[in-house]
Amino acid sequence: MILPIILAGGSGTRLWPLSRALYPKQLINLVDEHTMLQNTVMRIERLADTINPVVICNDEYRFMVAEQLRLIGVKPGAVILEPVGRNTAPAMAVAALWSIKTDTDPVLLILPADHHIQYTDKFLQTLTTGYAYARSGRLITFGIIPDKPETGYGYIKMGRPIDPIDSVERAMAIDAFVEKPDLETAKRYVASKKYCWNSGMFMFSASKAIEELEKFAPDILSACRQAVEKGKTDLDFFRLDRAAFAASPSDSIDYAVMEKTDAGAMVPMDAGWNDLGSWEALWQVGEKDTADNVVKGDVVLQDVSESYLHAESRLIAAVGIKDHIVVETSDAVMISPRDRVQDVKRLVDRLKAHNRLETQTHKRVYRPWGTVDQLVTGSRFQVNRLTVKPGGALSLQKHFNRSEHWVVVRGVALVTKKEEQIVLREDYSIFISAGTSHRLENPGKIPLEVIEVQTGSYIGEDDIIRMEDLYGRHKNDD
């Protein structure tokens, strides 16, 4: 039995300003109408002997992950919440320990949630090969057959072919894992046909993973065992114990296990793989016009070629540029030559050094009940648009420093104000003074849209006291 483990952490800073710390690239629809996470899950639905996937992510993403899975009709085996980031080896340990606890001994298929695969049939065929070798006790990694020299990926040097199993393609022994090379070295790797890109995808039985972790990374295994044993179920999520998981060393699967084990093997993959780690990668996989431009959103071009232009909230009009990236969101515009997109991370680091909120979140913020769109902000006021999904409800709460005025512009609202419950229809409004307990709910069948005007001496998000919440949030948690 195959248990897919979807790794959905990470912030994807090279795709700023679309990807932000609290809204990373795996939760964004970068290629088509589905997000990267949704595509990852849907891609393996036709893989034989597969059970419901387990998603591992951090606490801040939990409701977005759950909602995106719900939208494609997938009920996960679990959504496991990491209290802190500890790289992929602890995630591997948690997945193996959790699966042994809840199942017999499945084969774990570990997939990052932010990869693009062009040829799904070839991808599934390669996974089938990996499954056969994983059941025989191998720890499988998937190497991408390179189509060009690439300095942004690590490489795996192939060894001898391994004895065949059943009728699947043969796996290869691993001679070495190699760090990201310079361009000349990458050219030699590709010309030799002995190297593959390191994809970060793996396949092995849970028991074999635990056995190898015990040999080569016992500190990681011990800490993760405690984190799982002391973990708690919270609504539809499983929370790892914070103190135990934080005590785990941070390491990758490659360094912690694969470079040391004698049970490792590589299955080459040629399925149109791309990790979409930069704007250049998105230009490469995107659908191009006659001038080789990839265009998203409201964009008008004059004499523009071989560029990527993405408009989120307003018109982009460009004249006379070539080989450029232009990305617009409601609060930021990023412009770069295509051959400088690797420096976007350095740009984000500069923004972080100045404590710019644009690195953390968008003006649209996702909540378990819907979304908040920040429209206007002043020194003592803020105007938001709240969209509450059918059946959704904000927490019963109060604020010490701000008052709120709600105007219903679409749908029907049920408002709790102290002990009173009030139904508001379109064009009706209500005022909530500071210190008054209140709740907003959507009892209808269509999304509820409310314009919210906040006023007061302090309007920060931490001025909130939750008294009841349908989603298990406490105090000023998001």
For residue 404, the SS3 value is: strand
Give residue 449's pLDDT band: very low, low, confident or very high (50, 70, 90): very high
Q: In CATH, what number does 2-274 get?
A: 3.90.550.10
Report pLDDT digits (tens) over 285-306: 999 999 999 999 999 999 999 9
pLDDT at 44: 96
Q: Are 83 and 246 in contact (CB under 8 A)?
A: yes
Residue 28 Cα to chain centre, angstroms: 8
For the cut 90, the answer to whether the pLDDT of residue 389 exceeds it is yes
Q: Are 219 and 253 in contact (CB under 8 A)?
A: no
Q: Provide the angle, in degrees to the nearest 10, between the axes of the packed helices 218-229 and 88-102.
A: 50
- Written as six digits, the tokens of 475 are 């105090």
Query: Of 272, 364, 356, which Cα lies nearest the Cα of 313?
Result: 364
For the cut 60, the answer to whether the pLDDT of residue 149 exceeds it is yes
Q: In CATH, what number does 364-468 get?
A: 2.60.120.10
Which are the contacts of 294, defined by CB distance < 8 A and separation ≥ 6?
A: 282, 283, 286, 287, 288, 307, 308, 309
Alpha-carbon distance of 96 to 426, in angstroms, equals 51
Q: What angle do CA 224, 225, 227 make, to 5 degrees?
A: 60
**pTM of the entire predicted model:** 0.89
Which are the contacts of 45, defined by CB distance < 8 A and separation ≥ 6?
A: none
pLDDT at 477: 53
Query: Of 144, 148, 154, which Cα lies nearest the Cα of 88?
Result: 154
Report pLDDT digits (tens) over 197-254: 999 999 999 999 999 999 999 999 999 999 999 999 988 899 999 999 999 999 999 9
Report pLDDT digits (tens) over 250-269: 999 999 999 999 999 999 99
User: What are the DSSP calls for 269-290, one per residue?
Assistant: E-S-EE---SHHHHHHHSPP-T
Report pLDDT digits (tens) over 11-53: 778 999 999 988 999 999 999 999 999 999 999 999 999 999 9
Alpha-carbon distance of 140 to 142, in angstroms, equals 7
Give residue 309's pLDDT band: very low, low, confident or very high (50, 70, 90): very high
Alpha-carbon distance of 233 to 180, in angstroms, equals 40
Q: Residue by residue, what is the 3-state secondary structure of 17-43? A: CCCECCECHHHCCCCCCCCHHHHHHHH
Domain ranges of the chain: 2-274, 289-353, 364-468
For the cut 80, the answer to whether the pLDDT of residue 162 exceeds it is yes
319-332 as b/e: b if 16+ CB within 10 A = eebeebbbbbbebb
Sign of CA dihedral 24, 28, 34, 39: negative
Instruction: Kindly state the average pLDDT of the residues 419-448.
Output: 96
Give residue 101's pLDDT band: very low, low, confident or very high (50, 70, 90): confident
- Written as six digits, the tokens of 392 are 């959704």
Bridge-based pairing of strands 402-410 and 429-432 is antiparallel
Instruction: Kindly state the average pLDDT of the residues 318-324.
Output: 98
Which are the contacts of 120, defined by CB distance < 8 A and separation ≥ 6?
A: 43, 46, 271
Bridge-based pairing of strands 264-269 and 237-239 is unpaired
pLDDT at 385: 97
Give me the chain's average pLDDT, please. 94
For the cut 80, the answer to whether the pLDDT of residue 111 exceeds it is yes
**Minimum mean pLDDT range among 96-100, 148-152, 220-224, 388-392:** 148-152
pLDDT at 102: 77
Hey, what amino acid is at 171? A
